[in-house]
Amino acid sequence: MNIAVIGAGPAGLMAAEVLSAGGAHVTVYDRMPSVGRKFLLAGRGGLNLTHSEPLDAFLGRYREAAPHLRPAIEAFAPTALRAWSDTLGQPTFVGSSGRVFPQAMKASPLLRAWLRRLDQSGVQLAFRHRWTGWSANGGLQFETPAGRTSLEPDATVIALGGASWPKLGADGGWIDSFKAKGIEIAPLRSANCGFCVGWSDLFRDRFEGQPLKSVALSFGGETVRGEATITRDGIEGGAIYALSAPLRDAVLAHGEVVLHVALRPDLAKHDLIARVSAPRQKQSMSTYLRKVTGLPPVAIGLLQEAAIAGGLKLSVMDSEALAALIDAVPVKLTGVAPLDRAISTAGGIALNEIDAQFMLRKMPGVFVAGEMLDWEAPTGGYLLQACFATGAAAGRGALNYLKR
């Protein structure tokens, strides 16, 4: 059994491992000169492999795609991913937030150990092979430094990612080849991304790059606690990413939406009112707010930004109105960060185009996995987990197909 895997990210490499273990001869093709470039980037700040929350809650993070992904993730669950990492000499631990990391906190030791095992199992790697689609007789076509080449494997697994971080290999260049075969593709959109805000020059110049810590963001009935960072053009960060899917859809539908930021979500309403009822005397408003609420300068600046935009003045607001503003600062989002600045991608191959084995219904023998499928999830381990799990599922599917 000769099987081609196109894409050397986590999904493709996991498919290759499953295929090789099943007795197949596997070659992994990638247009880049090395493997797992986005995977390595993800590990720079600590490789978040998966999450430790209960599986039903875990699966809920995939929203409408959860029913399609459930069998694959149940078959290669977070516990299985942790056990797999351990067999590579990279034991994991659960952080305070429930996220799971390798003890080394880096992707490179895990990737090196993984590549050694793949090499020992006979998996071959072919770099600088850019897949350009199918020939008239169904063969795979590649552009290589030596020129164009084609091949006809017994089965193919394609895991080329979305279109975020194109410099690392995932550029969405596969879309036209699939569309030419009549495969439905949902438009690629930014996921886990920042948003544009029309900050004043004063606020932007003073607070660009500063974090809003321990805040609560609310939109559309959802509230997320965490951190956000002021950027020159808007706002980004973990708490923003957790709400990015509904925020993105709303911005694209309506042009702009209002996000509400609670600057002191740990304080009860009555406590906050009591604090801002204290006499201000001759203190500046910034000094007063810092002393009575403990807000940092960037949070006070955000309050002032919102007040000015609303035609208000903080110094003349009564205590209840001021407390209400601190508890729900309106921030108008006017755009979505572009794909090449997003952490991940929404959209891709429609899930109704694949069967339970992750094979394309219209193209027997062709399997797809990873971020090129139409699903999205927040950061926190959910992205990598689904890439590993769908890669393993596609590998099993290809083996089952060839056995039949």
Query: Angle at CA 196, nearest 5°, toward 190 and 197?
Result: 155
Whether residue 252 is predicted with pLDDT greater than 90 in this model: the reply is yes
Whether residue 216 is predicted with pLDDT greater than 80 in this model: the reply is yes
Q: Which of 254, 259, 255 is nearest to 240 (CA)?
A: 259
Mean pLDDT of the chain: 94
Whether residue 167 is predicted with pLDDT greater than 90 in this model: the reply is no
Whether residue 169 is predicted with pLDDT greater than 80 in this model: the reply is no
Strand pairing category for 234-236 and 222-230: antiparallel
- Indicate the SS3 state at residue 67: helix
Angle between helix 10-21 and helix 382-403 axes, rounded to 10 deg:
40
- Neighbouring C-beta atoms of residue 226, cutoff 10 Å: 18
Task: Calculate the alpha carbon distances from 67 to 71, 325, 335, 387 in Å.
Answer: 8, 40, 30, 16
The per-residue pLDDT for range 350-394, each reduced to its tens digit, is 999 999 999 999 999 999 999 999 999 999 999 999 999 999 999
- How does residue 41 score in pLDDT terms, banded at 50, 70 and 90? confident
Task: Calculate the alpha carbon distances from 296 to 33, 223, 286, 355 in Å.
Answer: 46, 22, 9, 52
Share of the chain above pLDDT 70, in %: 100
Measured distance CA(82)–CA(102) in Å, rounded: 8
Cβ atoms of 216 and 261 within 8 Å: the answer is: yes
Measured distance CA(376)–CA(361) in Å, rounded: 22
The 99-102 sheet, strands edge to edge:
50-51, 99-102, 92-94
In the chain, what's the furthest Cα-to-Cα distance?
83
Angle between helix 78-87 and helix 382-403 axes, rounded to 10 deg:
80
Residue found under tokens 């942790």: 82
Whether residue 237 is predicted with pLDDT greater than 80 in this model: the reply is yes
Q: Where in the chain is the domain with CATH 3.50.50.60?
A: 2-190+345-403
Query: Angle at CA 146, nearest 5°, toward 145 and 148?
Result: 95
So what's the pLDDT on residue 315?
Answer: 86
Class of the CATH-defined domain 2-190+345-403 = alpha beta
Mean pLDDT of 28-47: 86
- How does residue 251 score in pLDDT terms, banded at 50, 70 and 90? very high
So what's the pLDDT on residue 364?
Answer: 96
Q: Rg of the Cα trace of the chain?
A: 24
Q: Which of 84, 129, 79, 158 is nearest to 371 (CA)?
A: 158
Cβ atoms of 243 and 258 within 8 Å: the answer is: no
Global pTM reads 0.90
